[in-house]
Amino acid sequence: MPSSTNKRNMSLFAITWPIFIEILLHMVMGNADTLMLSQYSDNAVAAVGISNQIISVVIVMFGFITAGTGILVAQQLGAGNLEKAGKASVVSLVTNLSFGLLLSTFLLLGGGYVLKMMNVPEEIMEDARLYIQIVGAFIFIQALLMTLGAILRSHGYTKDSMYVTIGMNIINIVGNFILIFGVFGLPALGVTGVAISTVASRLLGFVVLFAVVYKRTKDHLCFHQIWKGPKKELKQLLSIGIPSAGEHLSYNTSQMAITYFVVQMGTEALTTRVYTQNITMFVFLFSVAVGQGNQILIGHFTGGGEWERANKRCIRSIWLAAGISTFIAVIVYLNSSIIFSLFTDNSEIIATGSVLLLINIFLEPGRAFNLVVINSLRAAGDVRFPVYIGILSMWGIAVMLSYAFGLEAGLALAGIWIAMTADEWLRGLLMIWRWNKGHWRSMSFTQKKSEQA
């Protein structure tokens, strides 16, 4: 395994480009579902879109452990503590498996009730229920995939995870083609076919990724120690992971609340939002990749006490992510009609979606600040501040203004996009202020331990 020193000497580009490709492929997989289903029916797109909104909240729950894994393993590797990094990895896998099985049971048995609570339109209810039950029943596989990916990335093996994702995408797209439209004499399953293909690709991806992780880190993975009840390692993971995942959980639950407002606007508005979100994912993809690559490097830097390197890396990454994501947003807007026509021929959806992409140009710089600086703060151990600000802004700004602008003022989806822009900018500016204050310099887990010793 490469040494922690070598890892700290890696460039942001070397770590980030495989993460970029991996996230791009995950987005392609989601958009492949949407694009293929759009040829089947717009209602099927809406059904999968609203089901995935709920599933996304559940997936975020796995972040309670996964976020702690990525940060703690990176810091321990930066400090040269390979055995402690291995223990944290094993505890994370077992804990997320247990948690995943619990949430799989919840989605299988209770997913339909959640859809009813959200007042999902009757014309898409049956498809939405089938999708959430099939994908939800096996959501524990996603918990394991996330954990294995975090372990590999923290060690710097970002290419391995990328290769597995490529294979998963191929399996998913081929499966979609066969099962949605009924190729080779099979019945056309529509939404059910997408669900089956999604589960199959994740299962095969898990098998391969587990083998890769074991090969790369077997020298310090201590599976036999799990039976000794490693409470200390679990406590360490949760102390980092719970606050880190709290910001993600707040975001996804606030998005569910906003989705509830969109449902009141009708199926066409819901479909427009799904298409627009799928398109804008490609816009902020670069910021996501830079944020994650930055987190790995800053975790190693702060674990090894290299504060100035961490600070310079964060500042450079902020402007890089903001500049490129804004440029991409402009290009996407200028080609909005062409892009939307790939999904639908509904002129109202295309016109409304184009307006949303115009507003998105102003949203992206704020989102870039968030994605880079929040990950930097977490990597350094400053995990609580982003949660507190996130909850206040997401609910006090994004949700409240979405209701005020979208429903009360009658601006519909444009009002919701304006509200989300205000939220992203407020949080982004506050995160930059927090980073510049420098509290993170004394918050890394390994630094606290060395001071106590």
Positive/negative CA dihedral, 22, 27, 30, 34:
negative
Is pLDDT at 1 greater than 50 in this prediction?
no
Rg (CA), the chain: 21
Number of neighbouring beta carbons within 10 Å of residue 16: 24
**Residues 62 and 142: beta-carbon distance below 8 Å:** yes
Highest mean pLDDT: which of 170-179, 250-259, 320-329? 320-329
Q: pLDDT > 70: what percent of the chain?
A: 90
User: What residue spans define the domains of the chain?
Assistant: 4-448
- Residue 292: closest CA among 28, 3, 12: 12
Number of neighbouring beta carbons within 10 Å of residue 19: 23
DSSP letters spanning 95-153: HHHHHHHHHHHHHHHHHHHHHHHTT--HHHHHHHHHHHHHHHHTHHHHHHHHHHHHHHH
| Mean pLDDT over each residue of the chain, to the nearest integer | 84
d(CA 325, CA 318): 11
DSSP letters spanning 64-92: HHHHHHHHHHHHHHHTT-HHHHHHHHHHH
d(CA 70, CA 317): 19
Is pLDDT at 120 greater than 50 in this prediction?
yes
pLDDT tens figures, 278-331:
899 889 888 999 998 888 889 888 877 888 888 999 999 999 999 999 999 999
Is pLDDT at 409 greater than 90 in this prediction?
yes
Average pLDDT, stretch 407-422?
95
pLDDT for residue 10: 64
pLDDT for residue 452: 44
**Residues 148 and 93: beta-carbon distance below 8 Å:** yes
pLDDT for residue 169: 84
Which of 183-197, 219-233, 388-402 has the least mean pLDDT? 219-233
pLDDT tens figures, 12-67:
878 888 888 888 877 776 666 667 777 777 788 888 888 887 887 788 777 777 77
Is pLDDT at 11 greater than 90 in this prediction?
no
d(CA 90, CA 237): 11
Buried b (16+ CB within 10 A) or exposed e, 183-203: eeeeeebbbbbbbbbbbbbbe
Highest mean pLDDT: which of 224-238, 348-362, 382-396? 348-362
pLDDT tens figures, 123-147:
888 888 998 999 999 999 999 998 8
For the chain, give the longest Cα–Cα distance.
68
pLDDT for residue 445: 58
pLDDT tens figures, 193-249:
888 988 999 999 999 999 998 888 776 666 655 555 566 767 777 777 777 667 777
Q: Is 116 exposed, middle or buried (0-12, 13-18, 19+ CB in 10 A)?
A: exposed
pLDDT for residue 399: 96
